[in-house]
Amino acid sequence: MKERIVLELEAQPWLPSNSVRMIRELNHYDMPTEGILRHRFLPRYYFFACIDGAVNEYSMWVYVSISRSEARQLKKLRGDDLRHFEAGLLVDRPVDAVMAHENRGIVQKGQAKIVVHGPLPASEPKLAQEAWSSVNKQIRAEAGAIERMVPC
């Protein structure tokens, strides 16, 4: 089983903890929006992408554990081949997802599973919709559990 990434609240989403470093930036829009992270001390790799809201106050980011060979493939591909490969990394795998604020960094984290029926989408909106839906359910469940807690 591949190890999940460590995510720290208030960290920048493109560098989500002190345990990882960026080894390749794949896309940039005022900040890195896609890339490959590597664990600082272990041979673990992660792909990350901002899948919604890169130009908004709040944005959605996803992280998935990848193999070394997948990291190499990401470095080689360009254009539509790269986008299709990236989408394939995010579908039907456990992904970690965060909501980030432009000034406060990561403000909420959770897990998601992005399921796409049929061919992989050519653009990110379907992936973003699936991830938002999964994470929002988790956030609502956690909020409901906190509301039901009785103070001691």
pLDDT, tens only, 54-74: 888 988 899 999 999 999 999
Cβ neighbours of 140 (radius 10 Å): 10
pLDDT in tens, 115-124: 776 665 555 5
Report pTM.
Answer: 0.81
| pLDDT above 70 for 129 | no
Give the Å distances, CA to CA, from 137 to 56, 68, 83, 88, 106: 22, 32, 27, 23, 18
Cβ neighbours of 1 (radius 10 Å): 5
